[in-house]
């Protein structure tokens, strides 16, 4: 395996101590596990809306200090191409989700997500659902 990119929904399940996700992650070397900058942003957005804001921000800060953060800059061209293709086909994907998905493709990573049907619209994507 080249590595995995955890989607936001997977990170949330990880924070909820989902056993399946914890077990899968325990079998992967830390250097092969990534989250996108977009996932980090989405996690912080959720924390800002939470009634337990400070606790959630501390949890996110701890999490991102232990995992590889994947920048999106290398994926912008692929994002634009996929966005146009999907819009023409009448199958749009929300920008944040699409950026996460194309980042997985661009970096030869398997996307770990619950949104399999949604993300499967992206060309050349490898997807697993660990939930």
What local confidence, expressed as pLDDT, does residue 126 receive? 98
Asked whether 115 and 7 are in contact (CB, 8 A), the reply is: yes
DSSP H helices in 1-131: 8-15, 19-26, 37-49, 53-64, 76-88, 95-106, 116-119
**CA pair distance 117, 28, nearest whole angstrom:** 25
Of all residues in the chain, the percent with pLDDT exceeding 90 is 96
> What would the pLDDT profile of 22-46 be if each residue is shown by its tens digit?
999 999 988 999 999 999 999 999 9
What local confidence, expressed as pLDDT, does residue 104 receive? 98
What local confidence, expressed as pLDDT, does residue 30 receive? 86
Instruction: With a cut of 90, say whether residue 1 has pLDDT above it.
Output: no
Set out the domains of the chain in order of their start, with CATH numbers.
4-128 (3.40.50.1010)
> What would the pLDDT profile of 52-102 be if each residue is shown by its tens digit?
999 999 999 999 999 999 999 999 999 999 999 999 999 999 999 999 999
From the list 106, 92, 110, 113, the residue with the least C-alpha distance to 39 is 113
Mean pLDDT over 97-109 rounds to 98
Residue 103's pLDDT band (boundaries 50, 70, 90)? Answer: very high
């Amino acid at each position: 395996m080249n590595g995995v990119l955890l989607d936001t929904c997977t990170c949330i399940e990880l924070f909820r101590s989902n056993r399946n996700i914890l077990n899968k992650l325990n079998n992967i070397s830390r250097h092969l596990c990534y989250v996108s900058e977009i996932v980090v942003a989405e996690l912080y957005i959720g924390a800002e809306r939470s009634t337990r804001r400070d606790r959630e921000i501390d949890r996110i800060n701890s999490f991102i200090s232990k995992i590889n953060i994947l920048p999106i800059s290398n994926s912008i061209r692929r994002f634009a191409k996929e966005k146009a293709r999907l819009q023409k086909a009448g199958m749009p994907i929300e920008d944040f989700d699409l950026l996460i998905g194309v980042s997985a493709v661009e970096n030869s990573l398997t996307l770990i997500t619950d949104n399999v049907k949604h993300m499967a619209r992206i060309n050349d994507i490898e997807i697993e659902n660990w939930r």
